Structure 1
């Protein structure tokens, strides 16, 4: 037997539990990974409540989670790219990553560089690939100004760094306690709240060229009020506004395979060109506490589970 996060009905944090389940057996093209770290994400909380049931229907009992990093425990037939003992980063398409042992399609894995920590690797997929695709979707050019909302969050903290690497002037909306971190990464910090439009205009006297919204709650409208064209606005959170105004939702038109983007991001981290802030690490048994912290929506960086 092995342990995995499960829930039997839509609901709040109280429906989560850690169960003993049968050891998974890899089929053709699958790899069994012993998970060393698994990230958690706001989208998983929304799926668990049933808020996204039309997009992500659930069969109960349901597992949870996409992000993972670990060690190959077993390989199925036809797998020759990985061997038992290899350290890997990847993702589950079955919402099953928050577990001790997880089956992963071989195409959803990439080798983990030795100097990338487990917690960083385990929390990389959703936030990293989302940030990468959002930045590419707004097609930044050298010297352009881009605003990123929730700039110190799991996705935002990576998006601002990738936008800087694209040569943009980056304005990060965040609470004041995160301004020092943003400044240390070449980002112009701006506090959110009343008067934010005026503060952005002061930070970008030449105007704002693009806007990446990682939070929702009126930032698409703010981008439009700042004069940003709809094709240069990307939201990962406000799908109602995207449908209403015709702005983008990542991945836009430049969607490479997830494992390929993971490999690129992992190489940047290994070389010291990208930082993944880790807000907290919890043992698997404290999955409820981890999501309690996540759902306060004031986290700087990623929260990670360690099975």
Structure 2
């Protein structure tokens, strides 16, 4: 009891020492830092993983015409899904070990609605099927044959996803069947896209054909909400690319958004996201991970494990391919 009385008395005495004039003086001398609400927002804006300038340009076309962020990210990533020269996404994607092209995608809107398809075959635009899952079903994810059948029900056409180029490379790969994730070589990259429209609403999309020559049925982080993509309209959004298994283990995109909620900038949050992964993989240098993020004010950031990762940004300020810093310097 005596100790409590002493502490209480000491606290009152200390409080008394900080008189009104002193507090007023402290307040006057301390410079007030601008808060998020006081800084001018950059909107609309779109960013995407890697140097997919045609995709970001398409998304910007939607945004600059007063379109929604959801429409923008869908239209943007569809460009890469249709590009047969891009062997990491959509038509022409590298197949699994059995020669089947399986696609993964997810999408998330400003209200935390989301949809995803996993390990889906024969459909050229998985991102659009993911949006249908979000809007037309009570579910978040559909996988495999179920996702494919749902797509047909929604009017999507059956498409042969295996191009002659990807088939030829797969047949060559079978001679050795050596499986490796070569850093910054497009056998395991993804397009993740985040956008803010003129209303300030955020949406994101992520789509991929996954690792080239993966085991049948393998799914990485790309269609997993919270791993490959996450959006919180009060805070911002994040997306990932690279070896998805490592992103899943830290729920990477969700982590980055939560770090921004706690006050970190998009750049600081991406750096912390990569460092969390590397803490669990101390000494490993055989894989690449890249994160991008945007906060509610349109500030952006990116970070990766190895040099070479970039992200595209398009706003009223211009269209730029941004090289990011990395955990390893060379």
The TM tier, using the shorter chain, reads: under 0.3
TM-score of the two chains, using structure 1 as the length reference: 0.25
TM-score of the two chains, using structure 2 as the length reference: 0.24
